[in-house]
């Protein structure tokens, strides 16, 4: 029986859920559209945020099945993006040194790059893990 990789963590999901009324846990689990809606509506006026407390295990399973595991850890990438994204450390961690340095000197490319990364970080990590695996 093949086991699914554990790419995402429920612990990190619940920690981000604390700030979830801003959509952070939804971005983490690869749901950028609802993450953006949560950001602009304060977690659907806190109602959706409270419901998500019970949905995190299912979102975690879905993310584990959807994204490629490998050398680059999703949890570390998301922690670096969430708390230090404007410094580009998450990009440097993924081996994207040039854009990481650009982020460092431009405040995350004037914060627009950080927003882009909230939308696409799971895909970026998955692609890098796929590249590393097939070198």
69 CB-near residues (< 8 Å, 6+ apart): 5, 6, 7, 129
* Confidence band for 133, pLDDT divided at 50, 70 and 90: confident
* Confidence band for 2, pLDDT divided at 50, 70 and 90: low
Give the pLDDT confidence of 57-95 residue by residue, as tens digits.
999 999 999 999 999 999 999 999 999 999 999 999 999
Q: What would the mean pLDDT of 102-110 be, rounded to a whole number?
A: 96
Q: Pick from 12, 130, 10: which is nearest to 82 by CA?
A: 12
Q: What would the mean pLDDT of 89-109 be, rounded to a whole number?
A: 97
Q: How far is CA 123 from CA 68, 77, 116, 119, in A?
A: 9, 12, 11, 9
Q: What would the mean pLDDT of 30-54 be, rounded to a whole number?
A: 94
**Residues 61, 108: Cα–Cα separation, whole Å:** 30
Contact 108, 114 (CB under 8 A): yes
Phi, psi values for residue 23, rounded to 5°: 85, 5
Q: What is the 3-state secondary structure (H, E, C) of 31-64?
A: CHHHHHHHHHHHHHHCHHHHHHHHHHHHHHHHHH
Say what the pTM is.
0.90
The pLDDT assigned to 1 comes to 54
Q: What would the mean pLDDT of 31-40 be, rounded to a whole number?
A: 94
* Confidence band for 4, pLDDT divided at 50, 70 and 90: confident
């Amino acid at each position: 029986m093949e086991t699914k990789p554990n790419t995402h963590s429920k612990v990190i999901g619940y920690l981000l859920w604390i700030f979830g009324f801003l959509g952070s846990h939804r971005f983490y689990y690869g749901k950028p559209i609802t993450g953006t809606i949560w950001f602009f509506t304060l977690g659907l006026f806190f109602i959706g945020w409270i419901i998500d407390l019970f949905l995190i295990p299912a979102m975690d399973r879905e993310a584990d099945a959807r994204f490629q595991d490998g050398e680059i850890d999703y949890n570390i990438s998301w922690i670096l993006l969430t708390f230090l994204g404007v410094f580009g450390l998450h990009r440097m961690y993924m081996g994207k040194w040039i854009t990481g340095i650009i982020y460092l000197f431009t405040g995350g490319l004037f914060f627009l790059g950080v927003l882009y990364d909230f939308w696409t970080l799971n895909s970026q990590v998955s692609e890098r893990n796929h590249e590393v695996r097939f070198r």
